Amino acid sequence: MTPEQVMKEIEGKAPKLGLPIIGPKRGVILDEVVEEHKPSRVLEVGTLVGYSAIRMARHLKPGQKITCVELKDDMVKEARSNAERAGLSDRIEVLAGDAKKVLPTLSGGFDMVFLDAVKEDYLSYLKSIEHLLHKGSVVAADNVKSHAEEVKGYLDYVRNSGGYRSAYREAGSNYDTDEGDAVEISVKL
């Protein structure tokens, strides 16, 4: 299967199964970030079934990599399976565990980070790996409209700390069931 076929399959079953994937509308924002910043090493916090990892990995070149962190074992298995079916398992590594424990063990650097796990923990996730980012690293945080209260501290930090240039990008509903959502795109200064 192609990455696009696997993504379409996931998009088709996500609403029925209650899977909160970024989906096709906000996914375009993620595509644009990857295409603009051309990251070689990406960190994804909150992988679920691997939809967004596949979405990003299809823009990467051989040898470039996404390291994903997912808490739930059944989701880890499904994300790995979906990456394999999409032909991208060489670019997607899925680590099992609580991000609060896994992130401090990571090394190397990251050109891009995608946050899509426990919303209240976005700021602690960022701070735990901030030393692994460089000038120009980009951080994309999903659900900043629908979970505005939970991500308030995170948004205040990336918008006002002086360490990032940040932009709010809104998109319509994936399934016409809500008012849509937004992604905060922050580039490290």
Task: State pLDDT tens for residues 32-46.
Answer: 999 999 999 999 999
Give 20: exposed, middle or buried? Use CB within 10 Å, 0-12, 13-18, 19+. Answer: middle
Q: Which CATH number goes with the domain that contains 27? A: 3.40.50.150
Beta pairing, strands 133-142 & 181-188: antiparallel
Number of Cβ atoms within 10 Å of the Cβ of 95: 17
Q: 99-148, pLDDT tens digit by residue?
A: 999 999 999 999 999 999 999 999 999 999 999 999 999 999 999 999 99
Q: 165-183, pLDDT tens digit by residue?
A: 999 998 877 766 667 899 9
pTM of the model: 0.95
| Number of domains forming the structure of the chain | 1
Strand order in the sheet with 133-142: 92-96, 65-70, 41-45, 110-115, 133-142, 181-188, 164-171
Q: 12-27, pLDDT tens digit by residue?
A: 999 888 888 999 989 9
Q: Is the predicted pLDDT of residue 3 greater than 80, yes or no? A: yes
Which pLDDT belongs to residue 160? 97
| Cβ–Cβ under 8 Å, residues 68 and 82 | no
Domain range spanning residue 142?
A: 3-188
| Cβ–Cβ under 8 Å, residues 31 and 55 | yes
Which pLDDT belongs to residue 177? 67
Q: State both tokens at 128.
A: 């735990």
Q: Report, as an integer, the average pLDDT of 150-177.
A: 91
Nearest one of 169, 128, 19, 143 to 79, comparing CA atoms: 19
Q: 40-93, pLDDT tens digit by residue?
A: 999 999 999 999 999 999 999 999 999 999 999 999 999 999 999 999 999 999
